[in-house]
Chain A
């Protein structure tokens, strides 16, 4: 089956079983490796990307639901060479350890900041529930506050 959607601003068409997880189309057919497979059961968040601006766990999202939608992966979080506030903050706070979970966290954070521009620690606790086995959570928290600060300065 053929499915057409917008990926990081460009129209793409993928040939895949309609129930195939979007994650595999992104990684295997479209060769964007930033979105990761972690658990395959929507429990860890490593596969988080945006569908029409909302955080979605792509391992549990059939490609047929992507038809006609705007999909954004970590590669497309910031157009061009400019860094997204989340990316900038992540670098400033040296958040990643092994790095595997980080794209998912950054996509979840970016989605949250669109709706909660100045999140409290409780907002972060409630919204950012991805899993990091390297336990970089404390650096992430600092980076999320920093990203909110950068975002408020640039908008």
Chain B
């Protein structure tokens, strides 16, 4: 009898616990739905690309680019130089050409160079990055229209979506958004007023 009572009690408790769980799941749904909505905004889609290592590696805060999946400092003590193209005998173009090189694994795109210090994104939040992108003092004096053109048409920017293979023949990781979706997101964000959400 006691055993039966204990079993029923245990069963009831279990069912009650599951019920609470289900209730918790249902109360989570609005939040997760909210997160999904946030994740799909043009701003969020755009920032998923901009904060990816394919972009961040060449927008450093210091005077050396970063490289690789772990964003380590670029090998060989490569330096920014006076104009972001490297130094006398070690320019970016010493190794990087206008196209990816599948033989050596060296990535390439037209005018390969570091973003200027004013466009450093390393260590910044996504809203700080967005504010910097829109600031003519940081972005080389670009208007919003020019900024959109740069982000959606510049060969070096769009290299992120065709980053080629590394020195072991492995494909470099691409941003989590397609080129087409990134371009659409940038244009949609700008068309809606380039609003930067509060975070």
CA distance A111 to B98 in the complex (A): 21
Once the chains bind, are B89 and A21 in contact (CB under 8 Å)? no
Once the chains bind, are A116 and B104 in contact (CB under 8 Å)? no
- Within residues 41 to 98 of chain B, which ones have a CB less than 8 A from any CB in chain A? 75-79, 87-91, 93-95, 97-98
A33 at the interface (CB under 8 A from B): no
Residues of B within 8 A of A125 (CB): 77
B179 to nearest A CB, angstroms? Answer: 23
Residues of B within 8 A of A42 (CB): 94-95, 101, 104, 106
Chain B facing A: main interface SS: loop
What total count of A-B pairs have CB within 8 Å?
A: 73
- The listed residue with most A CB atoms (<10 A of its CB), out of B88, B95, B102, is B88
B99 at the interface (CB under 8 A from A): yes
Residues of A within 8 A of B103 (CB): 19, 21, 40, 59-60
Once the chains bind, are B94 and A126 in contact (CB under 8 Å)? no
B155 at the interface (CB under 8 A from A): no
Bin chain B's interface residue count.
Answer: 20 to 34
Once the chains bind, are A60 and B88 in contact (CB under 8 Å)? no
- If A41-B167, A56-B94, A65-B97 touch, whether A127 touches B104 (CB-CB below 8 Å) is no
CA distance A56 to B104 in the complex (A): 13
- The listed residue with most B CB atoms (<10 A of its CB), out of A60, A116, A125, A128, is A60
Once the chains bind, are A62 and B97 in contact (CB under 8 Å)? yes
Once the chains bind, are B90 and A127 in contact (CB under 8 Å)? yes
Once the chains bind, are A129 and B88 in contact (CB under 8 Å)? no
Once the chains bind, are B104 and A60 in contact (CB under 8 Å)? yes
CA distance A40 to B76 in the complex (A): 16
A43 at the interface (CB under 8 A from B): yes
Q: Which residue of B lies closest to A21 (CB)?
A: B103
A66 to nearest B CB, angstroms? Answer: 11
A77 at the interface (CB under 8 A from B): no
Residues of B within 8 A of A114 (CB): 88
Once the chains bind, are A126 and B87 in contact (CB under 8 Å)? yes
Q: Which residue of A lies closest to B81 (CB)?
A: A126
CA distance A113 to B175 in the complex (A): 40
Residues of B within 8 A of A48 (CB): 94
- If A41-B106, A42-B95, A43-B76 touch, whether A62 touches B101 (CB-CB below 8 Å) is yes
CA distance A54 to B102 in the complex (A): 22
Once the chains bind, are B104 and A109 in contact (CB under 8 Å)? no
Besides A112-B89, A127-B88, 8 more A-B contacts (Cβ < 8 Å) are A21-B103, A42-B104, A55-B89, A59-B104, A60-B95, A60-B101, A60-B104, A108-B89
Task: Pull 5 A–B residue pairs with CB atoms less than 8 Å apart, ordered by A.
Answer: A42-B106, A48-B94, A60-B97, A111-B89, A128-B89
B residues sitting closer than 8 Å to A (CB atoms) are: 75-79, 87-91, 93-95, 97-99, 101-106, 167
